[in-house]
Amino acid sequence: MTYRIDIPGVGVGTAENGATESTLNLIARLLQTSITDRQRFQNAAQNAFKQVKYNSDEAAGAMGAMAAAINQSSNSISQGTTRVNRNISELFETSSQTSN
């Protein structure tokens, strides 16, 4: 289609092969769909990142609990080793005293 265009300060001209109203409406609908799809994608991405953060926080908490348990076990082993070494030393001393 050919359209007559009046541009203030420039003048009147014509536009060849202009879109019909139905074509412009279709383009507008497609653009709106693209915007809506992009918003859906952004919302989905935000929700996914929120879930990743939640899972990361949960994992960090679990790892902290595991670290505390390992630390407690390490302390218990250390104390046990100290007691065993002390008992061995006492046995050697007792054995030495009995031998003499």
- Alpha helix locations (H) across 1-100? 21-99
Distance (Å, whole) CA 5 – CA 24: 17
Distance (Å, whole) CA 8 – CA 12: 8
For residue 32, the Cα-to-chain-centroid distance in whole angstroms is 30
Specify the residue for token string 């218990």: 76
Check pLDDT > 70 for residue 71: yes
Q: What is the pLDDT of residue 21?
A: 78
**What is the pTM assigned to this prediction?**
0.48
Check pLDDT > 90 for residue 16: no
